[in-house]
Amino acid sequence: MGERRGHIVLWGLYGLAWCLAPWLLTASYAQVLASQIGIAILSCLAYNLLLGQGGMLSFGHAIYGGAGAYAVIDALQTLQAHPPTGAAATWIVAALPLWGALAGAGLAAGLGALCARHSGTAFGMITLGLGELVAAVAQMAPQVFGGEAGRSANRVLNASAWHFGPSSHLLMLVAGYTLAGTAALWALTRTPFGLLLGAVRDEPERLAFLGHSPAWVRWQALVLSGAVSGLAGGLAALLFERVSPDVFSGARSAALLLFVFVGGSAHFVGPMWGAVWMVLSLTALASLTPAWPLYLGLVFLWMVWRAPQGWAGLLSDAHAALRTGWVPGQRLRSMGRGLGQIGRGLAVAGAVVWAVEALYRRQFGA
């Protein structure tokens, strides 16, 4: 009962934060950053539907978000040629991310038929090949995908109506979709399909013996994940009003894998932590130091070596330890050891940062 009450409080705070964000964040930069975090949360949760819940390691998942982004940009360009009038423009733009979700689901339905029959390494290699194939096609068809310049469109279709021109208005839209997507994916883990997905990850042979097709379950998971990824891609297209073939790149797929793992793929909130780290790393950290890719690589290596359960797993272990009811003397000793480990870790991290920054200044003058 206490754990259930804790979940209700945490989800209530999460929903309240998104509801208040458009009103509390007044700076345009903060509003855009919050919108990016919401989009990243949807992308990482969609990826973790495969990795954490279904045990499917995908190396080309960014293509579904890219499909959603291009679908929305194409729809915006079409609507600009024939703009709707009145309040209809507002509702049409608000519904465009659903068109992106449909595009992502459609691409996943087609490509998923090629890889859902396999698992493990074979699944990963097929997704890698499909991802590179789509990325290559996008580069070779500039008349469709816009080449290096990409394609752009204006999300404001009718200035006389309530529109999404201000970043605060778009943040309201992103917050609504993020809350709805998070709630839907959380509810999915409590359904029979969520249990089947866990069985595909842990015991596919036993699941097949019970009469369920693991390939069919994987395909359904791919379609659902592609839909949520396409939704996130559509929101990103509305936010930046531009999309280029880079959205299909392997680097985008690798970033999803890296930050979902760092956040903790075994926990539902892990990808959400990873999404926050991803946005802050690619924006704030990248503006502070040119060595940010090196730091990300070091963090990833450390997590694989010392904490494969991710940040969410570390927090879960710490919470479980606090509830075990230690003897006072043992608690003090454990706290002392924990503080000592934190201190040593901070000292090592500080030394690494100092050495890296000194080397960069010496070699590149940055």
CATH code of the domain containing 291: 1.10.3470
In a domain, 258, yes or no: yes
% of the chain residues with pLDDT over 90: 45
- Regarding whether 208 and 332 lie in a shared domain, the answer is no
Which pLDDT score, from 0 to 100, does residue 318 have?
A: 67
- Regarding whether 270 and 184 lie in a shared domain, the answer is yes
* Number of neighbouring beta carbons within 10 Å of residue 123: 22
Give the domain range for residue 356.
Answer: 326-366
**CA–CA gap between residue 207 and residue 193 (Å, rounded):** 12
Which pLDDT score, from 0 to 100, does residue 329 have?
A: 53
**CA–CA gap between residue 85 and residue 105 (Å, rounded):** 30
DSSP states along 315-347: HHHHHHHHTS---HHHHHHHHHHHHHHHHHHHH
What residue type is assigned to position 216 of the chain?
W
Residues 200 and 218 sit within 8 Å (Cβ to Cβ): yes
Q: Return the minimum-mean-pLDDT range out of 105-109, 279-283, 299-303, 315-319.
A: 315-319
**CA–CA gap between residue 235 and residue 170 (Å, rounded):** 9
- Regarding whether 337 and 201 lie in a shared domain, the answer is no
User: Is the pLDDT assigned to residue 328 strictly greater than 60?
Assistant: no
Which pLDDT score, from 0 to 100, does residue 108 have?
A: 96
pTM: 0.90
Token couple for 56: 């499917």
**CA–CA gap between residue 298 and residue 292 (Å, rounded):** 10
- Regarding whether 159 and 284 lie in a shared domain, the answer is yes
In a domain, 191, yes or no: yes
**CA–CA gap between residue 282 and residue 262 (Å, rounded):** 15
User: Is the pLDDT assigned to residue 149 strictly greater than 60?
Assistant: yes
How many structural domains is the chain composed of? 2
Q: Where are the beta strands (DSSP E) in the chain?
A: 151-152, 242-243
Q: Return the minimum-mean-pLDDT range out of 3-12, 104-113, 166-175.
A: 3-12
User: Which of 344, 325, 343, 326 is CA-nearest to residue 334?
Assistant: 326
| DSSP-derived 3-state class of residue 232 | helix
In a domain, 335, yes or no: yes
**CA–CA gap between residue 275 and residue 286 (Å, rounded):** 16
Segment 179-200 mean pLDDT: 92
User: Is the pLDDT assigned to residue 134 strictly greater than 70?
Assistant: yes
